[in-house]
Amino acid sequence: MTPKPLRVLIVEDSATDAKLVAQALRQTNRVIDFLRVEDEVSMRRELETASWDLIISDWSMPKFNALTALAVMKGMELDLPFIIVSGTIGEETAVAAMRAGAHDYVLKDKLARLAPVVEREVRESKIREERRQAAKALLESEARYRRIVETTSEGVWVIDAGGKTTFMNARMAQMLGCDVNRGIGRSPSEFLDDKDNAALTTYLRLASMGIANQVEVRFLHNDGTSVSALLEATPVFDAARHYEGSLAMVMDISERKRSEAARRASESRFKCLWESGIILIAISDTGDKIIEINDAGLELLGYARDELLAQPIYWDDLTPPESRRADETARAQLMSRGIASPWEKELIRKDGRRVSILAAAAILDDSVRIVIGVDLTERKRAEQNLQERMRVAALTADIALVLTHEDALERILQRCVGSLAEHLDIDFVRIWTIEAPNNVLVLQATAGGRGNQLQAPLGAHLGEAEAGHVVRTREPYLTNDMPLDSRGGDVSMAAFAGYPLLVDGELVGVVGLFSREPLSEVTGNGLGSLANTIAVGIQRNNVTRANVQLEAQLRQAQKMEAVGRLAGGVAHDFNNILSVILSSADFIGSDAKAGDSIRDDAHEIYKAAMRAAGLTRQLLMFSRQQVLAPKVLDLDEVLENMDKMLRRILGEDVEFAIRRNARLGRVRVDPSSIDQVIMNLVVNARDAMPTGGKLTIETTNVVLDESFVHQHPGANLGPHVMLTVSDTGTGMDQATQQRIFEPFFTTKQVGKGTGLGLSTVLGIVQQSQGVIRVDSEPGKGTTFNIYLPRVDDVLEADRANHPNSTLHGSETILLVEDEDQVRMAAQSLLERNGYQVIEMSSPGEALLYSETNPQPIDLLLTDVVMPQMSGPELARRLALTRPKMKVLCMSGYADDSIVRHGVFESEIAFFQKPFTPDTLMRKVREVLDA
Ligand code: ADP
Ligand code: MG
């Protein structure tokens, strides 16, 4: 290995001298590489462009000198060995050169010394260079450490043995809340409270002994904030191993503290949530198996903890198929984002019921997930309530529309139930109305809700008991657990909500809602107003119906009055004629010898005249112009007496039953008229059952109320006896029912019906202050109800039925009759039976006779309607002078004039023409014997 050549810059004006110097340098055994320069410019150039180990300079040159060269080198901040070679250099010059920085000098004549000098200088220069490098390195490393200390994220704090700050870095100053420079000299106690200061002092002492690692303190700032720090100190000792102080590394742990506090807070919040009992919280593994769940969750699901965790149970087990899709979406979200935003789903409880929840999920770490759920049942219910309220509003509008567009009640109610079922989405809806006279519930309309297929048609008694409850309490009634036998055959139909239909406090009906799902209160509240609307509809209908009925009844009454007047007039004249025919036939018959055919003929005439008399009697009855002789009666007794006869009329094919009421009230009616009423009804019933059937006659006590009276003009309030005649015959349509009470209305063949039966019945009933009502439907039979006022009087003996009464007598009778034929017939009848008869053709004659003849008169037998004076008036006048005289009035007609003539006012006995010998003689005897 060849040593590096020594590069020498020789500053010399003489090339020879330079060679000599180089020669001398060879003594160093080194390869010498030299260059000669002789002025400042070239020297500078060489120093700048190349590197040199050594400069050897001549002391003095014509254009240059050593001291200047030395200055050039120093000016270029070079520290090369600089040796001066001089021919003539004095001691003084040498000292000045050395002072200027030359390292040595050698005289030209002693160049042998040069080699060792150079050797030494080069060595020293090398050492110098190395030192320089070392110093530089030290400087750099110090700067680096300083930079580290200054820029470290930790605080560096030096506290001396006296407890004063000797150094702090910027981070530390920041932690202490002061300026770097101002902090020097301050005591830690200025930054700490007493407790922390004591703790720090103790720590530093312990640390100096090497027996403590860290202390945690809190630096308080002027602005009220603070910094928590962890401090670790290293003791510093001086050369003599005296404790100088501590160098502390200080770490700001405020953030850690804060997040720890936050974590603790969030943990405690989570604990609150977990235990709150409101929110379901469950932890599941990545396979969706539930591994932990809170009490709220257990309650929501209806499981016990052990039960749920032991099984094991997966989310899918708790999720109905309908919710699976939403779950999948949430799961995808969970996988991609670590959190699934809230979604609605249902859970299946242990008991199979479902609950709606709002669920949310998050991945807690790689192995577990958290699912939280809020029970939506309440919210769903609230939503449902709102919806129901909306529906009720729509419904009210709908029904109001129905009310304004429809007239017929059935149609109104049918549309009401239809709307209710549809809008409320209710399984079944019914409306009942309350019908007089007995306030019975009548089912008017029924509708099933949309999409609610029934397994079987529901029974008519569905909800009847519950509706009855509403009627009794007049309050809404809601139950979600209807008794099984009220459910109309569908046992799942458990919920019922009923509302009274009230108008001004009057109950007109009930609306009932039926559902398989529990019904809520709000349906009821909403329906309250709706029920009012429907109720008004029903009532309006009732009123119009009553009006229509009243009008029809009025027309009927007017018609009857006209017909009655006509019939009455005809009957009057007819009766007089019949009286003559009857008595004449009787005379002929009794005058003829036995066996004579004339006798039979006379009897035929008599019979025919009697039939005619029956007809006029009927005419007078329906025209209400027959004078009735009412008696207090027990209808059951009447029926018992008629039983045999009625059975005969009905024949074999008709099953006949009389149902009696144990304690039937009494009525006051004309006995023969009530016989006729019953008979007419029974005959009609028989005609309606040509192939047989069943006839039931029933008697009941009833009390007629306001609404009944309202609907049946002519009826009176209070206790009545109801006589019901019902058959299972052909029945009648509405049109026929409208006309049956009209005289001469018949649907029977010519010769079979007269059309007078029911008009007679009506006449008798009305004259007895009663009412009649018919219920019939084609094919379903007919029921007649007759309501007669109940009386408290005791039964009257039937005076007409005196046994052994003889028709003969010898008393004096004053007979006053303006019709000659009638007078003559009556006279001969009376005389034949032994009476003394004084006959007069006018009341005037009778008065005159009475005044002029003092003989006693036992009986005045007089016509009622006569020219000049009425029969009763004549009786009154005669009574003034003959107080003991009995009076019997007779008339062929019984209109208002009889009342005007005072027959009813007095105790005057009355006899209805036409008379037969028998009836006249009985009546005369009756009056004389009274
Ligand atoms: P008539 O019996 O002479 O026809 P009514 O006045 O007794 O006259 O009856 C009038 C009509 O009323 C009858 O023709 C019949 O059409 C109808 N009617 C009366 N009672 C009944 C009944 N029980 N069932 C069916 N129709 C009846
Ligand atoms: Mg009849």
Q: Average pLDDT by consecutive 10-residue portion of the chain (930 residues)?
A: 80 90 86 91 92 90 89 90 84 82 86 88 88 88 82 86 89 88 88 92 87 87 89 87 88 87 83 81 87 88 84 87 90 87 89 87 82 83 74 73 74 82 79 80 78 58 86 87 83 86 84 84 62 78 73 70 70 80 84 80 84 74 60 87 82 88 84 83 92 93 88 88 95 92 82 78 87 93 95 58 60 90 84 89 90 90 84 88 89 56 61 79 86
* Residue 741 alpha carbon, nearest atom of ligand 1: 6
Q: Is the CB of 745 under 6 A from ligand 1?
A: yes
Query: Cα 725 from chain centroid?
Result: 49
State in Å: Cα 629 to ligand 2 middle. Answer: 24
Looking up tokens 């379901």, which residue turns up? 280
- 503 backbone dihedrals φ, ψ, rounded to 5°: -130, 120
Total-model pTM: 0.34
The CA-atom distances, in angstroms, between 413 and each of 138, 440, 660, 927 are 111, 17, 38, 63
Rounded distance between C-alpha atoms, residue 679 and residue 39, angstroms: 177
Tens-place pLDDT, residues 859-905: 999 988 887 788 888 988 898 899 889 999 888 665 545 544 445 55
- Predicted pLDDT at 627: 57
Give residue 746 CA to ligand 1 midpoint distance, Å.
6
Report CA(409)–ligand 1 centroid distance (Å). 29
Question: What burial class does residue 513 get, using C-beta atoms within 10 Å of its C-beta: 0-12 exposed, 13-18 middle, 19+ buried?
Answer: buried
pLDDT of residue 457: 62
Q: How far is the CA of 725 from the centre of ligand 1 (A)?
A: 13
pLDDT at residue number 334? 87
pLDDT at position 860 is 93
Atom number, ligand 1, closest to the C-alpha of residue 784: 23
pLDDT at 2: 59
pLDDT recorded at residue 831: 87
- From 694, 727, 740, the mutation candidate for ligand 1 (largest count of ligand atoms within 8 A of CB) is 740
Q: What pLDDT score was predicted for residue 698?
A: 93
Query: Which residue, among 702, 682, 700, has the nearest Cα to 642 in the 3D structure?
Result: 682
Any atom of ligand 1 within 6 Å of the Cβ of 740 = yes
Q: Vertex 780, ends 777 and 784: CA angle to 5°?
A: 65
Please report the pLDDT score of residue 214 as a whole number.
87
Ligand 1 atom nearest to 730, measured from its CA: 25
Q: How many CB atoms lie within 10 A of CB 473?
A: 11
Q: What per-residue confidence (pLDDT) applies to 526? A: 61
CB 772 less than 6 A from any atom of ligand 1: no
Query: CB of 682 closer than 6 A to ligand 1?
Result: no
Structure-block tokens of residue 804: 């052994």
Q: Among all ligands shown, which has an atom nearest to the Cα of 759?
A: 1
Residue 290 burial class via C-beta count within 10 angstroms: exposed 0-12, middle 13-18, buried 19 and up:
buried
Half-sphere exposure of 884 (CA within 13 A, CB side): 7
Q: How far is CA 4 from the centre of its chain?
A: 111
Which candidate, 798, 911, 802, places its Cα nearest to that of 860?
911
Residue 676 Cβ < 6 Å to ligand 1: no
